Amino acid sequence: MSTAKSTIEPTVFVIFGGTGDLNARKLAPALYNLFLDGWLPEQFAIIGTGRTSLTDEAFREKLLADINQFSRTGKAEKETWAKFMPHIHYQVADVKNAASYTEFGRRITEFEQEWKAPANVIYYLAVAPEFFPIIATNIAQSKLGADPERIRIVIEKPFGHDLASAKELNHLLGQHFNERQIYRIDHYLGKETVQNIMAFRFANTLMEPLWNRNYIEHVQISVTEQLGVGDRSGYYDGAGALRDMIQNHLLQLLCLVAMEPPVNFTADEVRNRKVDVLRAMRRFTPEEVRESTVRGQYGSGWIEGKKVPGYREEKDANPKSNTETFAAVKFFVDNWRWQGVPFYLRTGKRLHRSASVITIQFKDVPHFIFPPETAESQHQNRLIISIQPEMSIRLQVQAKRPGLDMMLNTVDMVFDYDGTYTTQAPEAYETLLLDTMMGDQTLFMRGDQVEAAWDLVMPILNSWQQRTSQNFPNYSADSWGPEVAEALIARDGFHWFTLPLSPKK
């Protein structure tokens, strides 16, 4: 959440996994766009690493092709690329080989000598999680991580596989780095609309008096995907929807909706208030897991006229897999503000469409004064925060329909990014990479937050692991998930809201 362009010091950005998919799709385009928008300092170097043997030139060619394919600003312009390209370097390295780190140190010193200035160094771990500990240890043992003011380490998702492994990783990182050097990424927090939840809640007086159990009936958070698991079965089968989405992205969205106002907008104040929410959330007994959660796995079906395979038939999939590709959970936040207000979270793959939406349903009016026939068209107020693909905040209110009779109608008061702003919103990774360079941890997960989120989902994970699902696959492609997900919310007299339509997917 940066505010000034001039504050980035000379920086070396080391990308472990430089030849990988994340760098191709997200990191390289984000760094290029930050350069394009004038955010990066003159004294700036990227060192990509991997075992693949590449020269600097070959690596630059590869990144150019990636940027041309994946950047939000389209193909790189010749002149800008010519200026950006000399900042990119490559080093062949096996992360397990301690000697490689001596070589990183040598190159960093070379940059510092050339720049005649000390550099901030960011080590970005865009590699499989099994390598996080060895890289962190090797950085520390090579004395490359010692200066807490200058050295930062960015850890990609997933952070741990369960509470015990997250604690273990936190412990290991804590042995080598100060917490203010550790940037645990949840890219959802970098999205414009997600950052705007805090602006909307805490820069306006309008909502705060209503933002509690007295006026809010329930909250729904849906993050749905039309895509299936594709060729990522190897990773996904050991994870599932609860670990992959709810433990991190959806719980972070819930925290932003439910948190108390922080005393100021500094990283620790904001993160203190978010961790308060996680700690206040009700832990499930095994019996409550059965009542308050639903899991599903997609079968085959048709999406937009194309036949698509079921989860167990995907490439390299386990034909007997018990992994959930859909999860829905009813949570409660046990504090004064939210006592008794259900938060329904759902996420899944191969659903009817892709969307991330938070809906806050307000309570009904206390007394209805209009003629009974108008009651048919009366709806409760609803606030719809649409994160993607549509980026908008929509307040649904009741109004009189034009005409001689008194009929009510739901109308939308809309703040729509595309209609309001002409500038393109930055990608989440642009925001987050810039924040790492500026040393701002507000949008990153602190160690205690990650552990609190794992602690919350562990009873569900344990219970699901112990009980093999007998009815997988239990939803077909292009549906909204298993029928039991409807029952979860219908038991309380509600239904899942239709997600707002958008021309984009």
Q: Name the helix (H) or strand (E) containing 378.
A: none
d(CA 146, CA 171): 17
d(CA 368, CA 160): 51
Residue with the CB atom nearest ligand NAP in the bound state: 20
d(CA 469, CA 62): 44
d(CA 288, CA 79): 60
Which residues are 342's β-sheet partners?
Answer: 332
Q: Which stretch binds ligand NAP (CB under 6 A): 21-29, 101-109, 354-362, 485-493?
A: 21-29
Residue closer to ligand NAP (CB basis): 95 or 255 = 95
Residue closer to ligand NAP (CB basis): 44 or 188 = 188
350 lies in the binding site for ligand NAP (CB under 6 A): no
Contact with ligand NAP (CB under 6 A) among 14, 30, 127, 246 = 127
Least separation in angstroms between residue 20's CB and ligand NAP is 2
Distances (CA, A) of 381 to 223, 345, 411, 413: 22, 20, 10, 11
Q: Which stretch binds ligand NAP (CB under 6 A): 20-28, 35-43, 72-80, 492-500?
A: 20-28
Least separation in angstroms between residue 78's CB and ligand NAP is 27
Ramachandran category for residue 281: left, alpha or beta (phi over 0 → left; psi -120 to 50 → alpha): beta
Residue with tokens 């009815």: 471
Q: Which stretch binds ligand NAP (CB under 6 A): 127-135, 259-267, 387-395, 489-497?
A: 127-135
d(CA 102, CA 93): 11
Residue ranges in 78-117 that form contacts with ligand NAP under rule CB under 6 A: 93-96
Q: Which stretch binds ligand NAP (CB under 6 A): 72-80, 121-129, 305-313, 332-340?
A: 121-129
Least separation in angstroms between residue 348's CB and ligand NAP is 18
**x-or-dash string of contact with ligand NAP, 398-417, rule CB under 6 A:** --------------------
Q: Which stretch binds ligand NAP (CB under 6 A): 19-27, 211-219, 407-415, 492-500?
A: 19-27
Catalytic residue ranges: 249
Residue closer to ligand NAP (CB basis): 92 or 210 = 92
Residue closer to ligand NAP (CB basis): 217 or 314 = 314
Contact at 8 Å (CB) between 73 and 35?
A: no
25 lies in the binding site for ligand NAP (CB under 6 A): yes
What Rg value do the Cα atoms of the chain yield, rounded?
A: 24
Size of the site for ligand NAP (CB under 6 A): 20
Residue closer to ligand NAP (CB basis): 155 or 351 = 155
Residue ranges in 425-464 that form contacts with ligand NAP under rule CB under 6 A: none
Helix axes 192-202, 428-438, angle to 10 degrees: 70
Contact with ligand NAP (CB under 6 A) among 128, 263, 375, 411 = 128
Residue closer to ligand NAP (CB basis): 188 or 211 = 188
**x-or-dash string of contact with ligand NAP, 195-234, rule CB under 6 A:** ----------------------------------------
**What residue type is assigned to position 245 of the chain?**
M
Least separation in angstroms between residue 238's CB and ligand NAP is 11
**CB hemisphere CA count around 168 (13 angstroms):** 10
Residue ranges in 29-68 that form contacts with ligand NAP under rule CB under 6 A: 50-52
Least separation in angstroms between residue 109's CB and ligand NAP is 22
Contact with ligand NAP (CB under 6 A) among 129, 133, 459, 500 = 129
**Tokens standing for residue 204:** 């306006």
Kindly report each contact of residues 194-199 with a partner whose C-beta sits within 8 Å and lies 24 or more positions away, as own/partner. Answer: 194/252, 194/253, 194/256, 194/387, 195/1, 195/431, 195/443, 196/385, 196/393, 197/253, 197/256, 197/257, 197/358, 197/385, 198/256, 198/265, 198/270
d(CA 272, CA 267): 9
Contact at 8 Å (CB) between 292 and 477?
A: no
Contact with ligand NAP (CB under 6 A) among 20, 105, 133, 500 = 20
Q: β-strands 306-308, 342-348: how paired? A: unpaired
Residue ranges in 154-193 that form contacts with ligand NAP under rule CB under 6 A: 156-157
d(CA 53, CA 65): 18
Residue ranges binding ligand NAP (CB under 6 A): 17-22, 25, 50-52, 93-96, 126-129, 156-157
